[in-house]
Amino acid sequence: MTQTAPPPVQQPAALTKRPADAPAERSVRTLVSPLALARRRGKATYWSVFALVTVVFVLAFLFPVYWMVTGAMKPPEEVVRTPPTLVPEQWRVTGYTDAWDLMRLPTHLWNTVVQATGAWLLQIVFCTAAAYALSKLRPAFGTVILGGILATLMVPVQALVVPKYLTIADLPLIHVNLLNDPLAIWLPAVANAFNLYLLKRFFDQIPRDVLEAAEIDGAGKLRTLRSIVLPLSRPVLGVVSIFALVAVWQDFLWPLMVFSDTEKQPISVALVQLSQNVPLTVLIGAMVIASIPMVLMFLVFQRHIIAGISAGSTKG
């Protein structure tokens, strides 16, 4: 699946109000009572379950990553050998360096960066402005427009790829072809009802008095947005930014459609297009390199990302 469905609408505040949750949780009673756990048998069961879960998790989720990272380091004949070697007999980095050069990863990584950054920037600028207008500026037909935007949540993105592709191939009225242009990723990314709604909900919570006070002090609408609303909205902007970046980086079908020019393709498309023609070790090296940016981002922002996902369900 190229996209995960949006998590249930979350209260924006929940993200900030959720600190490291260790101490609070420990006192909460769960399925198994603390008393049963304190007994000798309970302890034994607990630790064996704990060990089992650890082993299963490491094997199921960490081992494939290890297998990829080391697979790229094996010589070509070792990686296809049966039975496979758990640890490479010779450690070499040619898998990675060949992938970097042969598959022209710098080009494709750069394309992905350009596409993701542009989509993120445009989404932040236009979605924030639109959400601010809908939340605070009371445009005529504002509720109708918001309704129309929310209605698009009902329309699954993938089911519309064909007419969207035709729109990109020939923009109505101005007849411009945006195929093979980063704008083909950037512009449709702005039409993200979920992120816009998140922002609007957050802006709704900002008291009108604060904005009016700024206005009386002589601040224009843009100034109010920039100096009052945006600084207050840092948490929700963080969530939207992560969603926007991840969505572009992980997408496959849409860039596959709009970038037929190999030079312009993002890494996800290039990987698949080139996967047939390169040695396995090289392909694996490229797979690892393609994963690094997202995994790094996850490791850096994991608390926020995990809190954001968990917050989705707390309303019950």
Partner 1 sequence: MKTTSRPAPPAVTRPSGATPPTRGARPAGRGPHGPLRRKIADQATAYAFLAGGLLCFILFSWYPAVRSVIIAFQKYTPGSDPQWVGTANFTRVFQDPEFTAAWRNTLTFTVLALVIGFAVPFVMALVLNELRHAKAFFRVVVYLPVMIPPVVSALLWKWFYDPGAGLANEVLGFLHLPTSNWTNGADTALVSLVIVATWANMGGTVLIYLAALQGIPGELYEAAELDGASLLQRIRHVTIPQTRFIILMLMLLQIIATMQVFTEPFVITGGGPENSTVTVLYLIYKYAFLYNDFGGASALSVLLLLVLSAFSALYLRLTRTD
Considering only residues 182 through 201, tell me which ones interact with partner 1, judged by CB under 8 A: 187-188, 190-191, 193, 196
User: Residue 9 is inside which H or E element, if any?
Assistant: none
* Contact with partner 1 (CB under 8 A) among 160, 176, 210, 300: 160
Residues 88-147 that bind partner 1 (CB under 8 A): 122, 125-127, 129-134, 137-140, 142-143, 145-147
By CB atoms closer than 10 A (0-12, 13-18, 19+), residue 11 is middle
Least Cβ distance, residue 153 to partner 1 (angstroms): 7
Which is nearer to partner 1, 235 or 285 (by Cβ)?
Answer: 285
CB of 267 vs partner 1, minimal distance in Å: 8
Which of 97, 210, 212, 277 is close enough to bind partner 1 by CB under 8 A?
Answer: 212
* Least distance in angstroms from the C-beta of 227 to partner 1: 15
Length of the chain: 316
Stretch that binds partner 1, among 32-40, 96-104, 113-121, 230-238 (CB under 8 A): 32-40
User: At closest approach, how far in Å is the CB of 231 from partner 1?
Assistant: 18
> How distant, in Å, are the alpha carbons of 55, 83, 293, 308 from that of 61?
10, 21, 18, 21
Both tokens assigned to 231 = 């600084």
Residue 27 buriedness (CB in 10 A; 0-12 / 13-18 / 19+):
exposed
Instruction: Identify which range of 23-31, 90-98, 102-110, 229-237 contacts partner 1 by CB under 8 A.
Output: 23-31
The answer to the question of residue 159 lying near partner 1 (CB under 8 A) is: yes
Residue 86 structure tokens: 């758990």
- The reply to whether 174 sits near partner 1 by the rule CB under 8 A is no
Interface with partner 1 in residues 34-53 (CB under 8 A): 37, 46, 49-50, 53
- Shortest Å distance, C-beta 145 to partner 1: 7
Positions 228 through 287 that interact with partner 1 (CB under 8 A): 246, 249-250, 252-253, 257, 267-269, 271-272, 275, 280, 283-284, 287
* DSSP category for residue 136: I
310 near partner 1 (CB under 8 A): yes
Per CB under 8 A, does 210 bind partner 1? no
Q: Which of 26, 40, 41, 175 binds partner 1 (CB under 8 A)?
A: 26
* Exposure class string for 263-289: b at 16+ Cβ within 10 A, else e: ebbbbbbbbeebeeebbebbbbbbbbb
Q: Which of residues 58-77 bind partner 1 (CB under 8 A)?
A: 58, 60-62, 64-65, 67-68, 71
- Of positions 221, 238, 262, 304, contacts partner 1 by CB under 8 A: 221
Alpha carbon distance 73, 272 (integer Å): 21
**Which helix (H) or strand (E) element contains residue 61?**
none
- Residues that bind partner 1 (rule: CB under 8 A) add up to a total of 128
14: tokens are 């929940």
Residues 6+ apart with CB under 8 A from 250: 2, 3, 268, 294
188, containing H or E segment: helix 183-190
11-14, Cβ contacts within 8 angstroms, sequence gap of 24 or more: 11/201, 11/311, 11/314, 11/315, 12/198, 12/201, 12/202, 12/205, 12/235, 12/236, 12/239, 13/205, 13/235, 14/307, 14/311, 14/314
Does 22 bind partner 1 (CB under 8 A)? Our answer is yes
CA gap 153, 98 in Å, rounded:
43
Q: x/- contact string, 276-295, with partner 1 (CB under 8 A)?
A: ----x--xx--x--xx--xx
Query: Would you count residue 83 as binding partner 1 (CB under 8 A)?
Result: yes
